[in-house]
A and B are shown apart, each in its own frame.
Chain A
Amino acid sequence: MSEKQPQNESNLSEKTVVLRRARLNAATSSLMRFSFKECCFKPVADEPDIEIEGSLVHKDSEEGQILCAEKEVGRKSKTLFSCITTATQTTINPPREVACQTESQPLLVNYSATANQWEIYDFYQEELQKRTSSTKKDEKENEIAEGAEGVHGNLSLLRDFTDKSDHDLAMLSTAAKLLEYAVNENINGDIIADFKHFEDEADEFRGDKGTLLPLWEFQYNKVKSLPVSALCWNKKYNDLFAVGLGSHKFTELECGMLLFYTWRNNNHPEFLFNTDSGVMCVDIHEQKSHLVAVGLFNGNVCVYNLMAKGDQPIYNSMASSGKHSGTVWQVKWWEDDLYGNHTFFSVSADGRVVSWTLGKYELFSTNIIKLPPMDKVPDDLNNVIVTAGLTLDFHKQKPYHFLVGTEAGKIHKGSTHYTRFIKTYEAHFRMVSCVRWNPFNPKVFITCGMDWRVNIWDETTDSPVFTFDLKSSVMDVAWAPYSSTVFAAVTADGKVHVFDLSINRFEALCQQRVVSTKRHLTCIEFNPVHPIIIVGNDRGLVISLKLSPNLRKNPKEEKGKEPSTGAEVEIAKMEKLLILMR
């Protein structure tokens, strides 16, 4: 409150200080507060109405004096109010909760698979096939060949086949075959062990003689009455051989069979073909071992393809104009002709040697040569009474040379280049049943005949170098593929005779009866690789025999020299013998 002073001139120049004080009218100096502790009203001191925390310290307080003192010194002091660090200055944010919520996961499915090396490989193969087939756009690429690669792991095949509802058991043929082999292996376990390992040790004590150990027997139950007329080993698959069944006697059955056996299954043939006439001869092509030429009793020749399904031959000479009018006694494959067509020769009872070429749809025949008539036949009957040719063989090194044996006991040497025979040998008194060139020596051949004789010839001489009398009609003879001096012959009294000329020039090393006395043996063949032979008898039975070590010996070498093998050695061996005999 200010006193009102009269406003005159002297007052106007005076400066007066006016103090204004803020004071709540409501708040009086007589404030009373109830104290719960003492349970009475107590006067409240004149407190400030507003309290704000500050950082000022009163100069006269204790702290203030310390601060002043320190300020003069110049030191930083760390009191509560003047300490400035990051810790004191950092504002601490109040904690906040931040949460993240995702959408609910999709339904979990359990998946398991294996990733083997073959699964990866199969997948890649499939991809590769898909890509090549799409680029080539060839329908044939997609054809699934039976037994093709990836048989077991081919996933697409598996998927396709499991979808089929019908049980197509035809696909099981390979598996069934394998199973049959395994079952037979178990049954014939001892035979197989003998075949592989048995070497007759008694041979050491027998001097030069050897024996034949019988191994498997092959007989097809349904043909007990047909004689075995031909045997032929397959050169490519050494366990497979062909058996031709047929009779050349008019009184017996007019049918024939061609069977293929492997020693892995001696119970049942691998391939079976029925022919309407007796099979007289069989030959398997050397390179294309699925082609089989067969000569029949009724004069036909057929060619079978083992890879083709079905019972029928792929070629048959029935419709051909040049077909034989007599029994075909021997067929032999020859080289391919200029155009690459396969060719084979046949010799038959009508006295002709004919070559057949496998054309696209049929056989083409070419007359090679006609056998000269027998001496006793008068000239005007030459064309009517013919000399039957019974056997034929091609030279191993010079394939255009061949030998033909006739029923007159003569051997004719001919060539495909000439139309007449080069040479004739008076071989036997009766029919010649077999003629074969030596596999090593180019000059030597062997013949056997119904006159009980086996003759070995040098082609340059007119009389045989060696002659053996075997006391019974010799039905077949064969050279051994491993030696130029070993051969074996079968006779009608059921014996097998094995000779080795380098060891014994006069008698057989082994003369063993293989079948019972009443049965004849008709054919013999050496296996090209293993030391076994097969012989056939006249009741459809084929027996395989193992040659004992004595029959397979190489001649003793001089001490210090290594034993040598090979074609040259074999040729030399034979040469030595020939020189001896001259």
Chain B
Amino acid sequence: MAEVEDTLKRIQAQHGVIGTIVVNGEGIPIRTTLDNSTSVQYAGLLHQLTMKARSAVRDIDPQNELTFLRIRSKKHEIMVAPDKEYLLIAIQNPSE
């Protein structure tokens, strides 16, 4: 438990990381370093996208699973690490 907390703290302290969000199985952020409205928005949208991505991966080969999802945009990169029912989201500015 403390290990995960430490890891999250380290990730947040890294260079260029804008925020981290932990989302539960229903798409509700349970731990976040961003403000509430942004967190809820990110959580809801990325939750759906992750479900879709996971469905796509497993549809092609049911023995496969989604391990990581990265969305690189012009301004920053959104990284999603799905777990059994949680989602870990980190937003980073890679070029800095």
Contacts and interface: CB of A to CB of B under 8 A. Distances in A.
Same complex: yes
Interface of A: 114, 116-118, 120-122, 149-154, 157-158, 161-162, 167-180, 182-184, 186-187, 189, 267-268
A150 B17 CA distance: 31
A267 B94 contact: no
A122 to B, nearest CB: 7
Contact of B7 (A117, A118, A154, A176): A176
B84 A183 contact: no
Contacts of B81: 175-176, 178-179, 182
Contacts of B84: 151-152, 154, 157-158, 161, 171
Interface residues of B, number: 43
Interface string B77-88: 101011111111
Interface string B14-56: 1111001010111000110000000000000000000000110
B92 A186 contact: yes
Contact of A182 (B31, B59, B70, B85): B70
A174 B1 CA distance: 12
B2 to A, nearest CB: 9
27 contacts: A116-B58, A118-B62, A120-B62, A121-B58, A121-B62, A152-B66, A158-B25, A161-B85, A169-B1, A169-B4, A170-B1, A171-B86, A173-B3, A175-B83, A175-B88, A176-B8, A177-B7, A179-B7, A182-B68, A182-B70, A183-B11, A186-B16, A187-B16, A187-B94, A189-B94, A267-B14, A268-B10
A116 B10 CA distance: 38
Contacts, number: 116
Contact of B30 (A157, A167, A171): A167
For A151, A152, A170, A267, which residue has the most chain B Cβ atoms within 10 angstroms? A152
Given A152-B54, A179-B20, 9 more contacts: A114-B55, A122-B62, A152-B65, A167-B24, A170-B3, A176-B88, A180-B10, A182-B70, A186-B92
Contacts of B82: 152, 175
B59 A179 contact: no
Contact of B59 (A118, A174, A180): A118
Q: Tell me what chain A mostly uses at the interface: helix, strand, loop, or mixed.
A: helix
A190 to B, nearest CB: 11
Contact of B88 (A120, A167, A172): A172
Q: Which of A168, A172, A267 counts the most chain B CB atoms within 10 A?
A: A172
Contacts of A117: 58-59, 62
The 7 closest A-B pairs by CB, nearest first: A118-B58, A121-B62, A175-B81, A186-B94, A176-B7, A175-B83, A118-B62
Contacts of B20: 179
Contact of B58 (A153, A162, A170, A180): A153
A99 B63 CA distance: 56
Given A117-B58, A182-B70, A170 B4 contact: yes
B67 interface: yes
Contact of A172 (B10, B14, B17, B86): B86
A149 B61 CA distance: 13
A153 B58 CA distance: 8
B31 to A, nearest CB: 8
Contacts of B66: 152
A183 B92 contact: yes
Nearest to A189: B94
B50 to A, nearest CB: 9
Contacts of B86: 169, 171-172, 175
